[in-house]
Structure 1
Amino acid sequence: MAAGLLLLVCAGAVLYSAQAQDPYDGLPGDYKKGVDLALEQLNTRTRVHHRVRFFRTMGKSDIESGFGGKYVSHHFYLKPTRCAKGSTVSNAQTCPFRNDRPLIDCAVCYKTAADQIESFPKPYVHCIQKPRLTEDTRTARREHCRNMSYNPGGRTIMGMRGRN
């Protein structure tokens, strides 16, 4: 009986500590780069008065493009915090979320090579408050990212010629 109770307490402690982990910290590196790109873009907007933080991934995918390249697509939510944009808080991840503001729905897609975001094709970042998101906007996002990752006639290993 005591062993069962101890097992239950240990399982609860593990589940509690897993929930305490910040969702941003659990993202793979390529996806963190896209979130950082969206945060950087939002922080330059004058209409955004509070810092925002990564809240949750809604969907993500990556497609290998050869030669170590990869097309990354990430759909996620950002959530406003109680910290003002110009505050001295060094790490926005410590700012508590606000529950009186709508979520910000973001979609990013970009190409990476050697663990860096490539400048061509130009990375796509689109963020909008969730209540303002329409089905047309969703469709436009999907099409933009789909067209970015499809490169007919692009270089492939099979298409390369040797020097002879």
Structure 2
Amino acid sequence: MAAGLLLLVCAGAVLYSAEAQDPYNELGDLHKKGVDLALEQLNSHAMVQHHFRFLKSLGKSEIESGFGVRYLYHHFYLKPTRCAKGTTDSTPQSCPFRNDRPLMDCAVCYKTSEDQIEPNPKPYVHCIQKPRLTEAMKTTRIEHCKKMNYNSGAPTLLAVQS
């Protein structure tokens, strides 16, 4: 009986610590909004068959240009899970990652005002399976995000690292 109770307590501790380790939960609110934007775009494509979860950040930057306006850039990986596309409860326990599909490499850049994503300039979201990402695509992503900031008179977003 005591061994069974100990096993139950240990299992609960492992599940609790796994939940605390979810990398998405460690992102700031503004960067979460960019990840959510990418996930929303992926889910809208009929060709995408899997449910994805945030795996890790590869790079992010943020420029505050005053009056509550910020420009954000976030480069990250999404990983497919074993859950069906469109799943809303996607905790690590309910939707474990699958290792038989490639990662999705995503880059987003967008303007926020008062912690909300602004429609102008239009947020930029580019996600592609990691093996298909080319150097030309990487360059296009960076140039697009730089232009977004120059058009509004802000300093270049990719020059600031956070």
Q: TM-score, normalised by structure 1?
A: 0.78
Unaligned runs of 5+ in 1: 1-12, 155-164
Aligned to 1:142: 142
Unaligned runs of 5+ in 2: 1-12, 155-162
Number of equivalent positions? 138
Aligned to 2:109: 109
- CA-CA distance at 1:48 after TM superposition: 1.1
User: Judging changes above 3 Å, is the alpha-carbon distance between structure 1 residues 52 and 65 closer, same or farther for their aligned structure 2 residues?
Assistant: same
Aligned to 1:122: 122
Aligned to 2:71: 71
Of 63, 70, 90, 2:88 maps to: 90
State the distance in 1 between where 2:97 and 2:20 align: 14
State the distance in 1 between where 2:88 and 2:133 align: 31
- CA-CA distance at 1:145 after TM superposition: 0.5
Percent identity over paired residues? 68
- CA-CA distance at 1:19 after TM superposition: 8.7
Q: TM-score, normalised by structure 2?
A: 0.79
In the TM superposition, 1:1-164 aligns within 5 A as 17=17, 21-86=21-86, 89-93=87-91, 94-151=94-151
- CA-CA distance at 1:20 after TM superposition: 5.1
Higher mean C-alpha displacement, 41-50 vs 116-125:
41-50
User: Judging changes above 3 Å, is the alpha-carbon distance between structure 1 residues 139 and 49 closer, same or farther for their aligned structure 2 residues?
Assistant: same
State the distance in 2 between where 1:49 and 1:81 align: 11
State the distance in 1 between where 2:26 and 2:18 align: 10
Runs of 4+ in 1 over 4 A off after TM superposition: none
- CA-CA distance at 1:151 after TM superposition: 3.4
Higher mean C-alpha displacement, 74-83 vs 44-53:
44-53
User: Judging changes above 3 Å, is the alpha-carbon distance between structure 1 residues 152 and 119 closer, same or farther for their aligned structure 2 residues?
Assistant: closer
In structure 1, the residue corresponding to 2:119 is in which secondary structure? coil
Letter of the aligned partner of 2:39 in structure 1? Answer: L
What is the Cα-based RMSD across aligned positions, in Å?
2.0
In structure 1, the residue corresponding to 2:58 is in which secondary structure? strand
Letter of the aligned partner of 1:63 in structure 2? Answer: I
